[in-house]
Structure 1
Amino acid sequence: MTTNLYLIRHGEAVTAIQGLIGDGELSQLGVMQAEHLRDRLAATHEIEADVLIASTLRRARQTAEIISPALDLPLLLDEEIQEIRPGGPDGISVEEYRKTFGWVDFRQTPLTQPAPDGENWGQFQLRVGTALERIIRTYEDKTIVLVCHGGVIDGSFIYFHQLSSLAVPVAGFRTRNTSITHWQKRGPDRRWRLVRYNDALHLHDIGTPERIPWDKIRPIPASDEDRPVDPVPTEEHQ
């Protein structure tokens, strides 16, 4: 049996381009990004999902609402896959937030609370790991789509690779809006493996005269079907 977990980052949010902290809607570009992802998924059927879950924050929920027709699934909401919670008033500017609460560098002090009702790095990673554990156990041997946030996708690497959640990793990620990250558990060893990260090919035709012909593209490379990848020596007997 196989469990597939697809993590999709939301489209560009208005708060990101306005320099605000809080729960914002998608920008005009963010809507277009989600529509291009929807069209890709509808044409390729590369994700045959059993469940679609979104963060309750507006930018993620709106993204999920746009792509849901391509997956033909009802949308479930889960507040535990929200982005890190900064605390403070919603919609406050970054400048005003810093003046009011200061600015915590999680790389230096990961366990410092940034503002009242905010989360430190350790609390955020505990929440993300707990949510992922609950979701993959609930939907074991199914295909799960989570529409979430960059920090949650970062946290998936910490969770699956069992890295320390008490310190920010030295190397980070730049997860693109509406990109696809795919984790899979299959085979006799039942280990989680990263299949792809930051797949945002559907964004490459935004602003171009031609659209990518998704209906003429295979959902997975032909070589993956004809010659499945064998475990490398370091993975054998593990």
Structure 2
Amino acid sequence: MTQLYLIRHAESMSALQGFVGDGGLSPLGIVQAQRLHDRLAATKEIAADVLITSTFPRAVQTTEIIAPALGLTPLLDDELQELRPGRAEGLSIQTFRDRYGVPNYDKRPFLPIAPEGESWGQFMFRVATALERILREHEGKTIVVVCHGGVIDGSFVSFFRMNLWTPPPTRFATQNTSITHWKKRGDIQAGEQWQLVTYNDTFHLLDIDTSTRISWGQPFAQPGSDANHPTMPISTEMHSDERA
């Protein structure tokens, strides 16, 4: 069984200061990543075989903070970068909009957001290709990928076989350092089935700016009650044309 954990980077300086691009982690971002490290170190809920990160600084810095909790050396992968801004890199949001306009991915999905940058269609194709490659290279393993909100969006587009070229009608709001967990059963010959286990799990951030820290103690990586849950749909959950 292949398991894929997608972790969005912690808050970046660009988000804090309102410019296009990176700038590394903000002070809050460093705290967020440390909280995720503490959670993973205490719970051991992710027994990862491989740790891969986008090469953008905000993702690399997040990975460097959480890597000791997983006991792995990160692998760098350029294809996991967020949508590439090209010449818009480093511009304030207002300057970017004045110079290049507000991107309209719905109406113009093939228009790069700026010269030397990417369009929505190019970005989604890159993400789908990168995930396919990573999953084939590490088939049957538990994979942790530290990446970006757009890459996590792309996982939904790819696994649900949505149209790569135009944004889906449903939007996502992936939080910093959130965990998105996908699980795959079967293989290419027998038939693959992806299951979304969790999305936007940020429980480790709940004690930020509070007087009490989360006491992790000895929580189970998987709730004991899950042992009673069926792993395949029961008859009432199947489509009417599948029932005997």
- Normalising by structure 1, we get a TM-score of 0.94
Cα deviation, 1:76-135, whole Å, max 9, x if unaligned, reads 110100000121153111111122222221122111122111111100000000000000
Q: Counterpart of 1:199?
A: 201
Quick check: 1:87–1:116 contact (8 Å CA) kept in 2? yes
**Stretch deviating more after TM superposition (145-154 or 102-111):** 102-111
Quick check: 1:178–1:200 contact (8 Å CA) kept in 2? yes
Q: Counterpart of 2:238?
A: 233
Cα deviation, 1:19-67, whole Å, max 9, x if unaligned, reads 1001221011100000000000000000000000000000000000000
Question: How many angstroms apart in 2 are the aligned matches of 1:142 and 1:20?
Answer: 37
Question: How many angstroms apart in 2 are the aligned matches of 1:59 and 1:67?
Answer: 13
The residue type paired with residue 76 of structure 1 is: L
Which segments of 5 or more consecutive residues in structure 1 lack a partner in the other structure? none
SS of 1:216's partner is coil
1:67-146 to structure 2, matched below 5 A, reads 67-146=66-145
| Aligned counterpart in structure 1 of residue 223 of structure 2, from 221, 224, 227 | 221
Question: How many angstroms apart in 2 are the aligned matches of 1:106 and 1:42?
Answer: 39
Shift of 1:233: 1.7
> Would you say how many aligned residue pairs link Structure 1 and Structure 2?
236
Shift of 1:150: 0.2
Shift of 1:189: 4.8
Q: Say if 1:132 and 1:66 are closer, same or farther in 2 by CA, change over 3 A.
A: same
Q: CA RMSD in A?
A: 1.7
Question: How many angstroms apart in 2 are the aligned matches of 1:234 and 1:45?
Answer: 37
Cα deviation, 1:111-168, whole Å, max 9, x if unaligned, reads 1122111111100000000000000000000000000000000000000000001111
Question: How many angstroms apart in 1 are the aligned matches of 2:182 and 2:119?
Answer: 26
The residue type paired with residue 185 of structure 1 is: K
1:163-182 to structure 2, matched below 5 A, reads 163-182=162-181
Question: How many angstroms apart in 2 are the aligned matches of 1:116 and 1:90?
Answer: 10
Question: How many angstroms apart in 2 are the aligned matches of 1:207 and 1:145?
Answer: 28
Question: How many angstroms apart in 2 are the aligned matches of 1:114 and 1:40?
Answer: 37
Question: How many angstroms apart in 1 are the aligned matches of 2:120 and 2:219?
Answer: 40
- Normalising by structure 2, we get a TM-score of 0.92
Q: Say if 1:3 and 1:234 are closer, same or farther in 2 by CA, change over 3 A.
A: farther
Question: How many angstroms apart in 1 are the aligned matches of 2:212 and 2:51?
Answer: 30
Quick check: 2:184–2:193 contact (8 Å CA) kept in 1? yes
The residue type paired with residue 212 of structure 1 is: I
The residue type paired with residue 154 of structure 1 is: D
% identity of equivalent residues = 54
Q: Counterpart of 1:186?
A: 185
**Stretch deviating more after TM superposition (93-102 or 61-70):** 93-102
SS of 2:72's partner is coil
Question: How many angstroms apart in 1 are the aligned matches of 2:120 and 2:139?
Answer: 28
Quick check: 2:59–2:148 contact (8 Å CA) kept in 1? yes
Quick check: 2:88–2:114 contact (8 Å CA) kept in 1? no
1:37-76 to structure 2, matched below 5 A, reads 37-76=36-75
